[in-house]
Amino acid sequence: MVRLTESLKAKPPSRAIWSGRISIGLVNVPVKMYTMIRDESFQFRFVRKNDACPLKYERVCTLDGEMVEWADVGRGYEVRKGEFVVFTKEELDALRPSTDQRIRIDKFVPFKSVDGIYLDKSYILAPDKSGDAYSLLRAVLRDMGMAGVGRFTLRTKEYPILIHEYRGSLLLTTLRYAYEVVDPNDVEALQGLEEPDIEEFDLATKIIENLSGDFDIMEYQDTFRERVEKLMDKKMKGETIVVEPSKQEEVKELMAALQETLQKLQGT
Amino acid sequence: MERLTKFRFTNLDKILYPKLNVKKLNVIEYYIKIAPKILSFLAKRIVVLNRFPDGVEEKGFYEKDSPGGTPPWVETFARFSETSGREINYIICNDLNTLLWLANLAALEMHIVLSQIESYEKPDQLLFDLDPEPPAGFNEAVEVAFTLKENLDSLGFKSYIKTSGKKGLHVLLPLVGDYNFSQTREFVHQFGKYLARDSDLVVSELSQSQDPGKVYVDYLQNSVGRTMICPYSLRATPQATVSTPIEWDELKGLNPEELNVFTVKERKKNPWAGFWENRQRLEVG
């Protein structure tokens, strides 16, 4: 039984990133799409250390060191070491799928039958203008536990996608292509492994039973992020940053020893 | 936490002796605990550092000049160095703060000159540096040390002994301050020659110092500006040994490698406690 996460924490987006319609045969459901997965890692820019002047990148030829104008920049694919096939931006653009404001659904499958390994990134779909068609689709998918499978072009890439109901919303999840996923059977280190003996197996089973519990993502916190945030606050208040010495037990012992030595030295 | 030092300790988790997993924290703790014993030997004289910021398995470096960032409360002594060809600001370690600041610089080895800065040309101690050449080792140095002591005793001298922290032994006489280095050097050299006459094990000349299986009585350390590893200083050996003052009766069967960063700070003994009260004259009465 999957336990729902009590509280998802990321800030809701203020603007939709796309709008269009879900097409199921001749039926259309108008929707807006919102970001659901946020990369909350800190984005640092390269700046000069002493005056925080932001740095820019320049396109420089690796052979003669000359600056290259955008107009002269091509897209090279290295087919062999040092040997490139060059495309222009226009050539590549002509090959890209056209975006047509449609999420095409080809068929419906039981959501639980989809192998989770193909799920990539999820987006929230919300009704656009009228909510009737949206509510209907949401109710039916929830009730039947089914998901629509189809295709969708976001910006310049076409993805296989899945639409299903989640916490009162329709979600669009982009899927990975089969060629993007490695079959573990093809990993050499996994071949010819022997099955364990029954005693070992029983013992391992007991260990796992003892450590069993409910999955809760809230048990995992991004401590690096928290520390960066703290330091950021201090820097913004203009406090001098001193790298905090670790407050381990052993450091306390060091201070105790120091106290003792100071007393001894004063006694002499 | 109340600040007990004038500076902050840094990189306490840095491993300085990888074989024993000794961190900078342990080194600083050692110098904290040994401070009451080591400070009288460091005080008022030039200390030359042998620093190992990346631990003893990486190259260290000697530092005579006070490094950049030396805090203003560290006493220094400016003097022209013949060997460096310029004026050097030597570090003088008179107090606990300076000692621990040095430890925090990973100055594992502290080498001292045998005179105080105010009477730089007048040694206040005299050193017999017993230096065994393989296959001779610590046991051979012990044998020579006992012979040396017997002779010093018979002339009425009170001598003090410490391990070098490596294979050698250092025998010292604290002196009243009106001799010069050529006199102390000559005294040790003559003594070495005398011992060498009676023993196949002992050699007394620099040219013989590499003779295999011999113990060289090095007298040349008794010179202006030359240094000796300070009593209670750590050594940059894999075993984190200490140049340790010992009682003469501890010497037999002693394993100098057991005197290290962990054991020496716990020693109750203070074999050199009377060192500075026993300054002696070299003339034999």
Q: Where are the domains of chain A?
A: 18-40+97-179, 224-262
The winner for highest mean pLDDT among A68-77, A191-200, B29-38 is B29-38
Please report, to the nearest 10 degrees, the dihedral formed by the alpha carbons of residues B114, B85, B92, B239 taken in order: -70
CA atoms B141, B143, B147, B152: torsion sign: positive
What is the structure's pLDDT at A125? 96
Shortest Cα distance, chain A CAs vs residue B269, angstroms: 16
The residue among A261, A263, A264 with the most chain B CBs within 10 A of its CB, best to mutate, is: A261
- Which CA distances in Å does B57 have to B23, B51, B107, B167, B243? 13, 12, 14, 19, 19
Cis check for the bond before B135: say yes or no (omega within 30 of 0).
yes
**Residue B118: other Cβ atoms inside 10 A:** 10
| CATH class of domain segment(s) A18-40+97-179 | mainly beta
**Residue B57: other Cβ atoms inside 10 A:** 13
What is the structure's pLDDT at A6? 54
**pLDDT above 80 (res B241):** yes
Please report, to the nearest 10 degrees, the dihedral formed by the alpha carbons of residues A85, A88, A89, A94 taken in order: -90
> Nearest residue on chain B to A264, judged by CA atoms?
B36
Q: Measured in whole angstroms, how far is the alpha carbon of residue A79 from the centre of its chain? A: 30
**Residue range B45-74: average pLDDT?**
91
How far apart CA B48 and CA B230 sit, in angstroms, is: 10
| Alpha carbon distance, N-terminus to C-terminus of chain B | 58
Is A261 in contact with B29 (Cβ distance < 8 A)?
no
The residue among A255, A260, A266 with the most chain B CBs within 10 A of its CB, best to mutate, is: A255
CA atoms B224, B225, B226, B229: torsion sign: positive
How far apart CA A174 and CA A118 sit, in angstroms, is: 8
Residue ranges of domains in chain B, CATH in brackets: 15-118+227-240+260-269 (3.90.920.10), 125-218 (3.30.70.3300)
* B:56-85 residues touching chain A, CB 8 A cutoff: none
**Residue A107: other Cβ atoms inside 10 A:** 10
**Residue A51: how many CA atoms within 13 Å on its side-chain side?**
2
What is the structure's pLDDT at B2? 45
Q: Are A11 and A36 in contact (CB under 8 A)?
A: no
The interface predicted TM-score (ipTM) is 0.80
SS3 call for B227 = strand
Q: Are B47 and B232 in contact (CB under 8 A)?
A: no
Q: In terms of pLDDT, which residue wins out, B278 or A89?
A: B278
Beta bridge partners of A86: A76
* A:185-244 residues touching chain B, CB 8 A cutoff: 242-243
Shortest Cα distance, chain A CAs vs residue B38, angstroms: 11
What is the structure's pLDDT at A7? 61
Q: What is the pLDDT of residues A83-140, one digit of tens each?
A: 889 998 888 888 887 777 899 999 999 999 999 999 999 999 999 988 899 999 999 9
**pLDDT above 60 (res A48):** yes
Judged by a CB distance cut-off of 8 A, whether residue A251 touches chain B is: yes
| Amino acid at site B273 | A
Q: What is the pLDDT of residues B141-199, one digit of tens each?
A: 999 999 999 999 999 999 999 999 999 999 999 999 789 999 999 999 999 999 999 99
DSSP letter for each residue of A193-242: PPPPPHHHHHHHHHHHHHT-----GGG---HHHHHHHHHHHHHHTTPPP-
Across chain A, mean pLDDT equals: 86
Going by C-alpha positions, the residue among A68, A11, A7 that lies closest to residue A37 is A11
Is A258 in contact with B9 (Cβ distance < 8 A)?
no
Q: What is the pLDDT of residues A216-245, one digit of tens each?
A: 888 888 888 888 888 888 888 876 555 554
